[in-house]
Amino acid sequence: MSSLKKSALSGMFWTFIQQFSTQGITFVVSVILARILLPEEFGLIALLSVFIGVGNVLVNGGLSQSLIRSPEVDDDDYSTVFFFNIIISALAYFIIFFSAPYIAEFYNQPQLKEIARVYTLTFVISSLSVVQFTRLNRDMDFKKQTIITIPSLVISGTLGIILALNNFGVWSLVWSAIAKETAHTIQLWWSSPWMPKLRFKKEKIKQHFGFGYKLTIAGVINTLFQDIYTIIIGKFFDPMQVGFYNRANTLRMLPVKNFGAVLNKVTFPLFSKIQDDDERLKNAYKKVMQMSVFLVAPTLMFMGVLAEPLFRFLLTEKWLPAVPYFQILCVAGIFYPINAYNLNVLAVKGRSDLILKLSLIKRIIIIAVILIVFQWGIYGLIYGQVFLSILLLYVNSYYCHKLINYSFGNQIKHIIPTIVMSIFVTLLVYGIDYFMQAKNYLDIVRIVLGGCSGIITFVLLAHTFKLESYLELKAIILKK
């Protein structure tokens, strides 16, 4: 086995462990907090998601990716990016600090002023360790990332639960976020052999900024439009509806982030190492895309069918209004990882200009769709996301076809077998759950029996028909 493939498999294994352990801890904590706190308290934090997201893009954005993809980097590169990130994070924080009263006024939620000013301290804290984290990504050292990330989540989650039980309300979420970034940063500094030097080279900024600023701009635009639904719902509806939408979207993204992020995190440095070999890059991309859909599609479909007992069992009756939102969003989530991989191909090819161009084109499309569907309220906005997820896949794949000859049609052809099989098994799960509901089975029984029957049937069919993504995943597991 080649050293590159060994690195990829090892990276995938440790990223898998990291992703599922961290998401597992995050999920358990969020469920406990959701049972204690009110939907509107989660809604208040969700209203800030666009500002938090933009700040994180500015701090963790394009310059980090430039460091990862550059063939050779030294202390001058790392130190220059380190100090540049601190400057940008401080600037982002002060902008939010002075804009906080206007943010509160926009949403007509006075308490958002102080919440925004405290929560966004995470920008500055996280900027202190971006380079250390980037070095681990560049070296594909996902084992150390896992060892560092898990304690941070345990500390922040425990603090959040304790504060929530002591009636801190929305502030339990704020201080939990700050504790997470602080613990993460301290551990990265403690475990990293690298220390910043007092260097700030103009030519290094020019080099990395030349590549990274386009990715950062594209990331900011993506974040603004990713959270545009929260902004619109927050402006025209009450925080409770924002809380329902946010909880539905968060739960929808759980399998997407677990499966998709594992592959996405490994693929960028992996793709970077074969960026000059178009055929290898195309084949690697095809396998990653198929594997992602194989994992994400049936999981989201099964969760959608079992949404009612799932929400009631995990979050209690007060969160049931989020169920229909969640079921619709699950359909849109299937294509989320593929869109990310298409953009990864452009990034490793050094075409950040195309990423920015695509970003602008997609935003025009999103605005047009929102203007059309807004008249149907929240449901119009959510159904619009399903339409956009398919349309934007075509848009994102356009330049992927130009660069590595992998067209939208071929991408769809390679995932269709998994999609069809997932739909078939989902209908079976629906029938089983319908019977159990009629017989008044407990929610936990419906979830376990419905989910297990779906998973077993799907795997058996994949094995019987020798689905390519199933065989590839099986080979990786057995080798590991």
User: Over the stretch 270-298, which tens digit does the pLDDT of each residue have?
Assistant: 666 666 677 777 887 788 888 888 989 99
Same domain, 346 and 407: yes
pLDDT confidence of residue 167: 92
| Residue 139 predicted with pLDDT over 70 | no
What total number of domains does the chain contain?
2
Contact partners, residue 400, CB within 8 Å, separation at least 6: 285, 342, 345, 346, 406, 411
Same domain, 38 and 153: yes
pLDDT confidence of residue 142: 65
The residue among 410 and 218 whose pLDDT is bigger is 410
Examine residue 261 and state whether it is found in any structural domain, yes or no: yes
Cα angle value 239/245/247 (rounded, 5°):
100
Using CA atoms, how far residue 256 sits from 77, 166, 415, 453, in Å, is 33, 33, 16, 21
The residue among 149 and 341 whose pLDDT is bigger is 149
Same domain, 193 and 321: no
For residues 348 and 268, is the Cβ–Cβ distance under 8 A? yes
| Residue 445 predicted with pLDDT over 90 | yes
Same domain, 44 and 111: yes
DSSP at 38: -
Examine residue 231 and state whether it is found in any structural domain, yes or no: no
Alpha carbon 91 to chain centroid distance?
Answer: 25
pLDDT confidence of residue 33: 93
Same domain, 178 and 241: no
Same domain, 391 and 466: yes
- Domain boundary (214, 229, 258) is at 214
Same domain, 261 and 140: no
pLDDT confidence of residue 395: 85
Domain containing residue 15: 1-214
> Per-residue pLDDT tens for 57-71?
877 666 666 676 666
Q: What are phi and psi of 440, to 5 degrees?
A: 60, 40
Same domain, 248 and 328: yes
Same domain, 157 and 257: no
Q: What value does the mean pLDDT take over residues 400-409?
A: 82
Distance CA 345, CA 102 (A): 39
Select from 400, 410, 412, 449 the least CA-distant residue to 428: 449
Alpha carbon 418 to chain centroid distance?
Answer: 22
Biggest CA–CA distance in the chain, Å, is: 71
Same domain, 450 and 339: yes
